[in-house]
Amino acid sequence: MSEVEEIAVPEQIGWDALTKILVAYLKAGGEKEKVSGQAVQQISNVSQGNISVNNKFFVSLGLLEGETGQYKLTEAGVKYTKALDWGRIDEAKTVLAQNIKDKPLVRRTLSYVDLNKPVTEDDLVAKIATIAGVTKESRFSTGIRGFVDMLSTSGLLHEDSEGRITISKKDIAEQDLLTDKRTVATTATESSKRTSIAFPVTFTINVDQGTDVAKVKAVVKAIREALSEV
Amino acid sequence: MSGNPADIIQRLQTDRGEQFEGAVIDAFNYLGLDASLTRTQEAESDGTAEALLAESPYFVVIECCAVDQGNEVGYEKIGQIRGNFPAYLDERRQRIFKTGYKLLVGKPAFSSNARARADPDVCLIQATSLIKMIDFHSKYHFSQDELELVMSVAGELTEEHLRNIVNIYQRRISIYALVCLSLIMGHAIESENRRRPFIPAEQVVGQVLGYSEMLQIDNVQDYEIRECIRDMSSPILKIIDSRDDSVRLSSVSLKTITANLGEMGKEFFSKLEDYSNRLRARL
Instruction: Tell whether A89 lies on the interface with B, counting CB pairs under 8 A.
Output: yes
Is the pLDDT score of A4 beyond 50?
A: no
Omega of the bond leading into B120 within 30 degrees of 0 (cis): yes
> Helices in A28-168 by DSSP H: which ranges?
37-44, 48-60, 75-85, 89-100, 104-116, 121-132, 138-153
Contacts of A125 by beta carbon, 8 Å cutoff, 6+ apart: A141, A144, A145, A148
Query: What is the pTM for the complete model shown?
Result: 0.79
Interface contact flag, A87 B56, Cβ < 8 Å: no
Between residues 164 and 223 of chain A, which touch chain B (CB distance below 8 Å)? Answer: none
Which residues from chain A sit within 8 angstroms of residue B85, using beta carbons?
85, 87
B166: nearest Cα among B208, B132, B211: B132
State residue B47 phi and psi, 5-degree precision. Answer: -165, 175
Strand A70-73 relative to strand B99-107, pairing: unpaired
User: Could you tell me the pLDDT band of residue A224, with boundaries at 50, 70 and 90?
Assistant: low
Report the residue from A85, A87, A153 with minimal CB separation from B99: A87
d(CA A3, CA B208): 73
CA B13 to chain A, closest CA, distance in angstroms equals 30
Each residue's pLDDT tens digit, B153-207: 999 999 999 999 999 999 999 999 999 999 998 777 776 668 899 999 999 999 9
8 Å CB contact of B89 and A84: yes
Confidence of residue A196 (pLDDT cuts 50, 70, 90): very low
pLDDT in tens, B29-41: 999 999 999 875 5
B132: left (phi over 0), alpha (psi -120 to 50) or beta: alpha
Peptide bond into B108 cis (omega under 30): yes
The per-residue pLDDT for range A7-60, each reduced to its tens digit, is 899 999 999 999 999 999 999 999 999 999 999 999 999 999 999 999 999 999
pLDDT at B267: 94
Q: What is the mean pLDDT of residues B116-144?
A: 96
Asked if B95's CB is within 8 angstroms of A153's CB, the reply is yes
The confidence score (pLDDT) of residue B275 equals 94
In 3-state terms, what secondary structure has residue B100?
A: strand
Neighbouring-strand partners of residue B60:
B49, B101
Residue A19 and residue B83: Cβ atoms within 8 Å?
no
Chain B's closest residue to A91, CA to CA, is B98
Can you tell me the distance from the alpha carbon of B105 to that of B15, in angstroms, rounded to the nearest whole number? 13
Q: Does the pLDDT value for residue B222 go beyond 70? A: yes
Q: What is the pLDDT of residue A226?
A: 65
The string of pLDDT tens digits covering residues B123-135 is: 999 999 999 999 9
Q: A165-183 pLDDT, tens per residue? A: 999 876 545 545 444 444 4
A156: contact with B, CB 8 A cutoff: no
pLDDT in tens, B226-260: 999 999 999 988 999 999 999 999 999 888 888 88
Question: Would an 8 Å CB–CB cutoff place A45 in contact with chain B?
Answer: yes
Q: Is A45 in Cβ contact with B86 (below 8 Å)?
A: no
Q: Which of B184, B206, B204 is nearest to B279 (CA)?
A: B184
Residue from A40, A153, A158, A160 to probe the interface with B (highest B Cβ count within 10 Å): A153
Q: Which of A43, A86, A153 sits opposite B94 (nearest CB)?
A: A153
Residue of A nearest to B90 (CA): A16
pLDDT at B268 over 50: yes
Give the SS3 label for residue A29. coil
pLDDT at B165: 92
- Phi and psi, residue B55, nearest 5°: -55, -45
Please determine, for residue A185, whether its predicted confidence score (pLDDT) is greater than 70: no
**Arithmetic mean of pLDDT, A117-136:** 93
Residues of B in contact with A90 (CB under 8 A): 56, 98-99
Signed CA dihedral, B178, B180, B182, B187: sign only: negative
Of A45, A89, A93, the CB nearest to B100: A89
- Please report, as a single letter, which amino acid is at residue A186: T
What proportion of chain B, given as a percentage, has pLDDT over 90? 83
Other Cβ atoms less than 10 A from the Cβ of B149: the count is 13
Rounded to an integer, the average pLDDT of A134-155 is 93
Closest approach of chain B CAs to the CA of A29, in angstroms?
14
In chain B, which residues have their Cβ closer than 8 Å to the Cβ of A89?
Answer: 89, 93-94, 97-100
- ipTM attached to this prediction: 0.79
